[in-house]
A and B are shown apart, each in its own frame.
Chain A
Amino acid sequence: MKQEALKYFTNINLIAFAFFLFLITFIGIVFWTLRRSAKSQYEELGRAPLREEANRGK
């Protein structure tokens, strides 16, 4: 059954498609993260480990 199912999973176009989907998603993430307008927002988020200390409760 497993072997049978896998026999049909050798379509090279499918693999290529998955690869490019992967690549495009990744490039998308890079651009999204590096977009200029988000700079200050990310800087604020990057302070998370220190914030907890600053507002330390009693």
Chain B
Amino acid sequence: MSKDTKSTYDDNIVKMFVYATMLWGTAAFLFGVIAALQMAIWQFNFDLEWLTFGRLRPLHTNAAIFAFAGNTIFAGIYYSTQRLTRIRMWSDTLSKIHFWGWQLIIVAAAITLPLGFSQGKEYAELEWPIDIAIAVIWVVFGVNFLMTLVKRREKHMYVALWFYIATFVTVAILHIFNSIVLPVSFLKSYPVYAGIQDALVQWWYGHNAVAFFLTTPFLGLMYYFIPKAVNRPVYSYRLSIIHFWALIFIYIWAGPHHLLNTALPDWLQTMGVVFSVMLWAPSWGGMINGLLTLRGSWHLLRTDPIVKFFVTAVTFYGMSTFEGPLLSIKSINSLAHYTDWIIGHVHAGALGWNGFMAFGLIYYLIPKLFDTKLYSRTLANAHFWLGTLGIIFYYSSMLAAGLTQGLMWRALDSNGQLVYPDFVETVTKIVPLYYIRIIGGTLYLVGFIIMIYNIIKTVKSSQGKVISVAIPEKAYFPNEKEGDGHRKLEGMAMTFTILATIAVVIGSVIELVPAMSMHKYVSMEKIVEPLTPLELAGRDIYIREGCYVCHSQMIRKMTSDVLRFGEPSTIEQSMYDHPFQWGSKRTGPDLARVGKKYPNMWHYEHMKNPRQVVQNSLMPNYSWLYKKDLDYYSLRKKLSALKRLGVPYTEQQVVNADVYAQSEADGVAESLVEAGVKVDIANKEILALIIYLQSLGQKGGD
């Protein structure tokens, strides 16, 4: 082993990220399978608050995106960046801080999410101290990466590096702006945005998290590792450049397609649709570019497991990016939105594109890093087929479930009435498909575990020999004398970064600024009452339990939605909602106007055991809400924070929040005792949740 670390690549950090990928991948997939079980068989919620679906689902998504895909990206970036720049990473210390910091963040997430600390925004659930840690570690990564580019010994920055730069810059912007909150306590905060603003910022973030965390970095990996795997340059380098700029220019605008047919102003919806449809071209350009890189080497698809994984991944990239714009078309979206079709869509992307890219990468890297051969090709092939079969089971069942439920929701009889007015009926119908999903997920997980076994065996077969790969001595500056003109180049990485940033920022500003001046769309004649202190306490429980992962609070402007749930939701109704809770999936019915629909006693029974009042319901029991005492004390701080954010509470209301909440709780408890509740429920959390649910749709704004 060379003592002079400067003359060798830092591959140790790559290994660490690969191991982390395998560890967190197991967790992410396992959580996914448990969540899938819960969707089919509610008993799998185990009546445990920290394992219940509403809390497990954020854990699953965060683990899959930030832990599994995140570590994959970093492994690939650290490996390829060093080789593309002919230099070791700028700072080994920063690399290590990045690695351990990121793992620590994941651990923090794995602890806080099951405990119910959540900001209530999808893929951005983590509370503010963790958000700050993410920002810091991300910058550590960025500084190390950009400094490596600045010091590089290769004149041209290969296109993969551009994709990494865009990833760094955009994720930083998205994360910081979506996470601006006003802390109430160490693990509780309210976003500064409310209602429609929050919705727009959240989906600008949410969509671009897919674009710049799950797409651009993986495309960078594709442009580096596929040529390596088949030992041929990319099919068209020029196409890859256009692919890059097109994605940078277009992606950032497409967020509003998550909010189609909602209260969002029509022009913003249309903009979201147009830009989403435009994405077809560059995405498919990129896919074709990746696939045609194999020209003349197609036989490898039969013989080399790495190539199998890469090619299938790129194919899934093509399918997902075909389906995405399709789902963004307003009429198709009206059928697919809130259904399992979307779940199928994201899993085709996550399991097919991200997962298979990660697996190809690991099978490529580990033998290289340990200077050995893969332990078993047969097992790798088995993994490939189990994974592929798993995705097919998963996707086809979810597509069928989504279409079935979507069509049932909108089915009208000859009198213009709903054919299936009972929501739960549309759920029971698709439960068999949920079983098929479990099979799909399990196959995928089993394949993954086989890979881990295979990798462990491979590493062991290297007998612990440590290899370090020497960096080529010669720098690569064509048309220039060595050492000459190097200074001139140093600025270029920064220039490029700034250019990409400008492109992303302009798109963001144009999309988001109108939302910031949303007062133009809010009618001042419509009076909206803010939530009372106890209702607010109930709302915080609603957020803590992750109710929004299965219930929307947004009635769309569609006949079937209106017939089922009432008048379309208005912008005004959620104008004081920090965070907004419009939701993105309806495993249960919409709740925007559920208030006063049922008596308090109904909710009391329902939360305890939903099946007592709704036969065949899949909802978990929330037994702990009947045991835990309400925290009145924090309400003053919470109201005061919301008042600062513009919710019109009076000074009186803030100061007396706890006293007022107590009297409200007594009122609810009294009504329940009158209705026949025998046990002592004074000051229990369920009271707050009931009064919050009863307030939905009752605060004006129509």
* Interface residues as binary, B656-670 with A (CB distance below 8 Å gives 1, 0 otherwise): 000000000000000
CA distance A49 to B82 in the complex (A): 11
A49 contacts B513, C-beta separation under 8 Å? no
B43 at interface by CB-CB < 8 Å: no
Question: Are A57 and B238 also in contact (CB < 8 A) when A10-B520, A48-B156, A50-B228 are?
Answer: no
Q: Are A19 and B245 in contact (CB under 8 A)?
A: no
A25-58 toward B: CB 8 Å interface, digit per residue (1/0)? 1100110011000110011111111111101111
Partner of B245, one of A29, A47, A50, A51: A29
Chain A residue nearest in CB terms to B518:
A6
Return chain B residues, CB-CB under 8 Å to A43: 233, 237
At the interface, yes or no: B476 with Cβ under 8 Å from chain A? yes
Smallest CB separation, A49 vs chain B (Å): 5
At the interface, yes or no: B519 with Cβ under 8 Å from chain A?
Answer: yes
Contact A22 B506 (CB under 8 A): yes
- Tell which of B112-120, B467-475, B531-539, B557-565 binds the partner: B467-475
Taken residue by residue from 489 to 525, chain B's Cβ proximity to chain A (1 for < 8 Å, 0 otherwise) reads as 0000000000000010011011001101101100000
- B233 x A18 contact (CB < 8 A): no
Q: Which of B442-495 contact A (CB under 8 A)?
A: 470-474, 476, 478
Q: Knowing A3-B519, A50-B227 touch, does A56 contact B160 (C-beta < 8 A)?
A: no
Question: Chain B binding site: helix, strand, loop or mixed by DSSP?
Answer: helix
Contacts A22-B506, A30-B242, A57-B471 given; does A3 touch B517 at CB 8 Å: yes
Say if the beta carbon of B154 comes within 8 Å of chain A: yes
Task: Say whether, besides A29-B242, A49-B227, A15 and B156 are in contact (CB < 8 Å).
Answer: no
Answer whether residue B241 sits at the interface, using C-beta atoms and an 8 A cutoff: yes
A22 to B233, CA, bound (A): 31
Q: Of B80, B237, B509, which one neighbours A45 at CB under 8 angstroms?
A: B237
Which residues of the other chain, B, contact A25 by a CB distance below 8 angstroms? 249, 503
List residues of chain B with CB within 8 A of the CB of A18: 506, 509-510
Q: Knowing A33-B238, A43-B237, A57-B473, say if A49 contacts B506 (CB, 8 Å).
A: no
> Using Cβ atoms and an 8 Å threshold, which residues of chain A touch B330?
none
A46 to B159, CA, bound (A): 8
The chain B residues found within 8 Å of chain A, CB to CB, are 80, 83-84, 86, 154, 156, 158-160, 223-224, 227-228, 231-234, 236-238, 240-242, 245-246, 249, 470-474, 476, 478, 503, 506-507, 509-510, 513-514, 516-517, 519-520
Please list the residues of chain A having a beta carbon within 8 angstroms of any beta carbon in chain B: 2-3, 6-7, 9-10, 15, 18-19, 21-22, 25-26, 29-30, 33-34, 38-39, 42-53, 55-58
Inter-chain pairs besides A49-B227, A50-B227, 11 sampled, C-beta below 8 Å: A2-B516, A3-B516, A3-B519, A19-B510, A21-B506, A42-B237, A46-B233, A46-B234, A47-B233, A48-B84, A48-B156
The 9 closest A-B pairs by CB, nearest first: A46-B237, A48-B158, A57-B472, A6-B517, A46-B233, A57-B470, A42-B237, A6-B516, A52-B83
A and B contact pairs by CB, cutoff 8 A, 14 listed = A3-B517, A3-B519, A9-B516, A9-B517, A22-B503, A25-B249, A26-B249, A38-B238, A42-B238, A46-B233, A50-B232, A52-B84, A57-B471, A57-B472
